[in-house]
């Protein structure tokens, strides 16, 4: 028996230990969280609260290899219990997090068939889980009533679905607009000839969107199919394939689309915006292009819906580009444009990201969970606020490590699913905040623009604050690394604080000066030229 499995079994045995849930399983100390017999995980401002190994989710006798992939979460509205919905190669695991230091596998919903290991994707609507699987001929979309988890005790239960929607055979992802009650299977495919046998229209031949009405969760019905196959003007032409998307009722800055149902789709080399309000007359609003695309994989809107943060899964492999976040300004939905690009400096592959408040929670395979402050994404002043590397073995360009995360629990816990190590229950530093307005507000100060800019030797700025407070100013490179401390001290009311940024010893390039006080936060871009 492996050491990781022994540890997981020990977690179950010790679940009744008094007071054990009050302390993290492995606290992040001096840049590392050490979990005996499992690993020493690099970290910053994130503690490991609980853990279940990949072996915990294995199904005895299953032909599918052990391995975890996607993840989502659910909070029982009656009991307040938080659950992790864990995708594996051969089913979906349900983990009770009521005592997060001792997570308990309640049961598992097996795959419809287990002919081969497949990836899974899970979303939630109206207390039901909707599960799809890729490359699975007869899987369909499983529907599971999550309230069935209440009161389940003892050994993990093998569940059966409440319904299976058979209008698709497989899909890479499932996207749900929880407000309108529609699900969208994306990256779906049918075996040869199956589309016609299912009585579906010709539009369903393209693996874009397969829309499903789930307002009656246990009786999902076909709505429509649509894709962008007709409009991509570039030389390679469109494939019509949608890999992932975010669909929602729009409440962003473009008044023309207020209240419309929109989907922001990652379509391999573009971000395509669809108006899906009328499922029988879906309109393409626009497409956004960015430099050097390799595979537009996934993305998420900032909470004000002003910017879409996109990630590219293959640019590290095919073009040698460090992991980056492409910030697309969608204030004018008809004319989206790139506002900035954050270069993390990480030589690992990015996968999924989700935004909560001022932070994007990014899962980057071999470098794990990266929590980025995106509150000033437009200016390119994205910085890394915290991280937890769930794959300590290496930091290579590979598909080992963390697949995805879920940051939306009211408790502040973040769950992350690592394909090699398993389920991690994480607690970021509470001072990071979870709500959009948490953290310093940008008010009560004036900060001049840097002069000269660009500069060879250095720039000067002046700061004034309306309320006396402590202020810190640091210079960061575009990878989010601090390269110089500029100021750390008291600022008196109305007094001028002179900030001098020296270019001496720094290579030519773009830098971000980040100034943080007790009542404000600001950033300025400085270009050092040689």
Reported as a single tens digit per residue, the pLDDT across 517-527 is: 888 878 888 88
Q: How far from the centroid of its chain's Cα atoms is residue 395's Cα? A: 19
What separation in angstroms does the CA of 308 have from each of 360, 381, 457? Answer: 11, 15, 36
What average pLDDT is seen over the chain? 85
Contact between 132 and 121 (Cβ < 8 Å) = yes
Tokens of 259: 């209240």
Separation CA 428–CA 423 (nearest Å)? 16
Predicted confidence band of residue 241 (pLDDT cuts 50, 70, 90): confident
Closest Cα partner for 478 from 370, 350, 289, 325?
Answer: 325
Element (H, E) at 8: helix 3-13
Based on C-alpha coordinates, what's the Rg of the chain?
24
Contact between 418 and 38 (Cβ < 8 Å) = no
Contact between 367 and 350 (Cβ < 8 Å) = no
Predicted confidence band of residue 291 (pLDDT cuts 50, 70, 90): confident
Separation CA 229–CA 144 (nearest Å)? 33
Rounded to two decimals, the pTM is 0.78
Predicted confidence band of residue 416 (pLDDT cuts 50, 70, 90): very high
Kindly report, residue by residue over 207-227, the tens digit of the pLDDT. Answer: 789 999 999 999 999 999 998
Cα angle 419, 60, 101; round to 5 = 55
Tell me the domain boundaries of the chain: 445-528
Separation CA 48–CA 414 (nearest Å)? 10
Query: 452: cis peptide before it, omega within 30°?
Result: yes
Residue 467: the pLDDT is 87
- DSSP string of 126-138? TTEEEEEETT-TT
Q: Coil, strand or helix: which one is 398? A: coil
Separation CA 58–CA 55 (nearest Å)? 5
Q: What is the mean pLDDT of residues 395-401?
A: 83
Tokens of 55: 């072996």
Q: Look at 131 and 451; give whichever has higher pLDDT.
A: 131
Q: Look at 316 and 110; give whichever has higher pLDDT.
A: 110
Element (H, E) at 197: helix 194-197
Predicted confidence band of residue 192 (pLDDT cuts 50, 70, 90): low
Q: What is the mean pLDDT of residues 148-173?
A: 93
Instruction: Indicate the pairing of strand 157-158 with strand 104-110.
Output: parallel
CATH topology of domain 445-528: Immunoglobulin-like (2.60.40)
Tokens of 386: 């915290």
Kindly report, residue by residue over 427-478, the tens digit of the pLDDT. Answer: 998 877 655 444 433 357 888 888 888 888 889 888 988 888 999 999 987 6
Contact between 34 and 46 (Cβ < 8 Å) = no
Residue 313: the pLDDT is 79
Residue 439: the pLDDT is 41
């Amino acid at each position: 028996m492996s050491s990781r499995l022994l540890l997981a079994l020990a977690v179950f045995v010790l679940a009744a230990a008094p007071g054990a849930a009050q302390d993290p399983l492995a606290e992040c100390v001096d840049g590392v969280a050490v979990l005996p017999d499992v690993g020493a995980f690099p970290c910053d401002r994130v503690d490991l609260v609980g853990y279940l190994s990949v072996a915990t989710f294995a199904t005895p006798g299953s032909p599918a290899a052990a391995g975890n992939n996607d993840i989502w979460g659910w909070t029982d509205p009656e009991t307040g219990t938080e659950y992790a919905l864990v995708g594996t190669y051969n089913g979906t695991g349900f983990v009770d997090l009521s005592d997060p230091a001792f997570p308990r596998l309640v049961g598992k919903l097996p795959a419809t068939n287990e002919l081969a290991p497949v990836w899974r994707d899970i979303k939630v609507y109206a207390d039901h889980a909707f599960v799809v699987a890729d490359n699975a001929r007869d899987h369909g979309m499983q529907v599971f009533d999550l309230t069935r988890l209440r009161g389940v005790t003892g050994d993990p239960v093998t569940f059966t679905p409440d319904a299976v929607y058979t209008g698709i055979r497989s899909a890479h992802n499932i996207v749900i607009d929880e407000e309108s009650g529609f699900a969208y299977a994306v990256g779906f495919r049918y075996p040869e000839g199956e589309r016609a046998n299912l009585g579906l229209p010709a539009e369903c031949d393209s693996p874009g969107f397969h829309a499903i009405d789930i307002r009656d969760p246990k009786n999902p019905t076909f709505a429509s199919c649509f894709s962008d196959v007709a409009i991509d003007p570039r030389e390679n032409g469109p494939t019509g394939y949608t890999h992932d998307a975010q669909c929602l009722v729009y409440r962003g800055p473009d008044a023309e689309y207020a209240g419309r149902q929109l989907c922001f789709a990652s379509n391999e080399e573009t971000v395509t915006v669809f108006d899906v309000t009328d499922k029988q007359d879906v309109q393409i609003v626009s497409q956004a292009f960015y430099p050097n695309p390799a595979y537009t994989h996934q993305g998420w809107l900032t909470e004000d819906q002003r910017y879409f943060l996109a990630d590219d899964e293959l640019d590290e492999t095919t073009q040698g580009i460090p992991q980056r976040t492409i910030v697309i300004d969608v204030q004018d939905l008809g004319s989206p444009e790139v506002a900035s690009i954050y270069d993390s400096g990480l030589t690992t592959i990015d996968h999924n990201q989700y935004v909560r408040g001022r932070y994007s929670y990014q899962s980057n395979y071999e470098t794990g969970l990266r929590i980025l402050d995106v509150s000033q994404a437009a200016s390119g002043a994205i910085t890394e606020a915290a991280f937890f590397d769930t794959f300590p073995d290496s930091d290579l360009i590979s598909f080992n490590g963390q697949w995805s995360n879920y940051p939306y629990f009211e408790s502040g816990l973040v769950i992350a699913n690592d394909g090699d190590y398993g389920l991690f229950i994480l607690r970021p530093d509470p001072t990071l905040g979870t709500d959009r307005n948490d953290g310093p507000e940008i008010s009560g100060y004036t900060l001049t623009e840097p002069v000269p800019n660009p500069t060879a030797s250095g720039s000067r700025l002046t700061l004034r604050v309306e309320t006396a407070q402590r202020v810190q100013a640091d210079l960061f490179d575009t990878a989010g690394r601090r390269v110089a401390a500029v100021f750390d001290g008291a600022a008196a009311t109305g007094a001028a604080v002179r900030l001098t940024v020296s270019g001496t010893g720094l290579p030519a390039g773009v830098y971000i000066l980040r100034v943080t006080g007790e009542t404000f936060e600001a950033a300025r871009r400085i270009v050092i030229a040689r």
